[in-house]
Amino acid sequence: MEVESNDGTSSSDVVMHYETIGTRESEQRKQILGQGGYGIVYKGLWGEEAVAVKRIQLANTTSSEKGEETLTRLKHPNVIKLLDVETDKYFRYYVLELCQLSLHQLFSGDKNHKQFREKMPSDKEVFLQLAMGLAHIHGMGLIHRDLKPENVLIWVDSTGERVLMKWADFGLSKPVNERGSCSMSGPNRGSDNWYAPEILKMTVEQDEGKLEKKNDEEEDQITPLHQRGTIKSDVFTEGLIFAFYLLKGLHPYGSSRFKIPSNIVEDKPKRKTIS
C-alpha cells in the first residue's frame, strides 16, 4: 500500500457510504490516501485518533487477510501497526496507524513532501530502523516478498522531532521454514524493479512454464533451494531501498523500469558512487 499525496484537487475528496470505524455513522467526506486494484485507503477516525482506513471489497480480501494475519503477529516500532479490523455487508476495513508519506514520495518532487526531508534522521539511523524492522519480520518466521520504497512508510510525531520508518503491505508475505526459505507457489507479483536476482530468474522460469506447480508440502521435499524464496532476497532488496534513499530517489540499477531487472540479474549497477 502506498500512501498517495493529496494535491488539493477535488478528486482527492470523495463522498462514500461506509460505517465509520467504531461509530457507525453514515456518509462522510474522506480524503483518499491511496488507491489500487482491490480497494482504497483514506483518512478516518478511530475514536479520537486519526488513522488510515484500507477498504477492500469482501470478494477481494484473500491477500489482505494474509496481510492481516501477518500484522497481528508483528509488534515493532518499524512495522506498520494494525489497530482494528471491521466488516460490513460489502467491505472489510483495516484500521492502520496514519503515516505522513512513503519513502517513494519523499523524493517525488511534491512540494508538500519536501519539508519532510529536513526532518529525516541520520543516514545511519534510517538504515538501522529499516534493518531492525526487517529483522523482526524475519525473526517471526516471515518473508515479506514485496519490499519497495512505496511500502516503506514514514511516521513523524507532532513535534517533528521523532521520525520512524515502517515496513508496510504484507499481502504477499509468507512463512518460512527453519532454513529461512519458502515455496514460490501462489501470487508472486510484487515489483520486478525491486526483486533480488534469484527471484527475477525464478519469475522468468515461471513465466515460461519451466516450473511445475506443486503444493507447499511437495515443494518442501523436492524443490531445489535455488527455486525457493529466502529471507536473503528480502535483505538484498533492503539494500536496494537504502541505496535509493542515499541516492535521493534514484534506483542504483538505472532509470529504465524495463532495463532495471536485467541490470540486477547481470549485476550491472548504473550508479556506483554516492555523493
Cβ-in-10-Å burial (0-12, 13-18, 19+) of 89 comes to exposed
Q: Considering the candidates 7, 84, 123, 146, report the single residue annotated as catalytic.
A: 146
- Assess whether 146 carries a catalytic annotation: yes
C-alpha cell at 120: 529525516
Contacts of residue 257, Cβ cutoff 8 Å, sequence gap at least 6: 192, 193
Known binder of ligand: residue 54? yes
Q: How many other C-beta atoms lie within 10 A of the C-beta of residue 90?
A: 11
In this structure, are strands 39-46 and 28-35 parallel, antiparallel, or unpaired? Answer: antiparallel
Contact present, 264 and 244 (Cβ < 8 Å):
no
End-to-end distance of the chain based on CA atoms, in angstroms? 30
For residues 110 and 151, give the distance between their C-alpha atoms in angstroms, rounded to a whole number: 18
Q: What are phi and psi of 261, to 5 degrees?
A: -55, -45
Residue 173's nearest CA partner among 182, 163, 164, 161 is 182
> Residues annotated in the binding site for ATP, as ranges?
54
**Residues recognised as catalytic:** 146
> Residues annotated in the binding site, as ranges?
54
